[in-house]
Amino acid sequence: MLPIPPAVVLSAVIASIYAALFNLWRNGSPRDLVFCLIAAWVGFAVGQVGGWLLHLGWGMIGSVYLVEGTVLCWLMLFLMNWLRVPRER
């Protein structure tokens, strides 16, 4: 069995905490939490790639680009929420 790198574990934990906080703030259901987790993980991963490509070193924890991951994670959560909210006519 291959070991999971600590940076991946830290990124998943941070993104999961953001997803849980967002779901609590929106009074979401457990079903909504699944969508929040997916959006947060994808957003944080895109932030990691963006930080790596741009060689930004702001607020890094080891090899985790915390600032870039956080910004993209929250943007993805708000985008997911905006796309899922039914519009009133």
Q: SS3 of 55, please?
A: coil
The whole-model pTM stands at 0.89
* 4 part of a folded domain: no
Question: Which pLDDT belongs to residue 89?
Answer: 54
* 9 part of a folded domain: no
**Phi and psi (nearest 5°) for 26?**
-90, 5
* 88 part of a folded domain: no
* 78 part of a folded domain: yes
Question: What is the rounded average pLDDT for all residues in the chain?
Answer: 92
* 6 part of a folded domain: no
Owning domain of residue 43: 23-82
Burial status of residue 69 (CB atoms within 10 A of its CB: 0-12, 13-18, 19 or more): buried
- Name the pLDDT band for 88 (thresholds 50, 70, 90): low
Span between the terminal Cα atoms of the chain, in Å = 53
The domain total for the chain is: 1
* 2 part of a folded domain: no
Tens of pLDDT along 14-57?
Answer: 999 999 999 999 998 999 999 999 999 999 999 999 999 998 88
* 30 part of a folded domain: yes
Question: Which pLDDT belongs to residue 87?
Answer: 60
Question: Which pLDDT belongs to residue 43?
Answer: 98
* 74 part of a folded domain: yes
- Name the pLDDT band for 84 (thresholds 50, 70, 90): confident
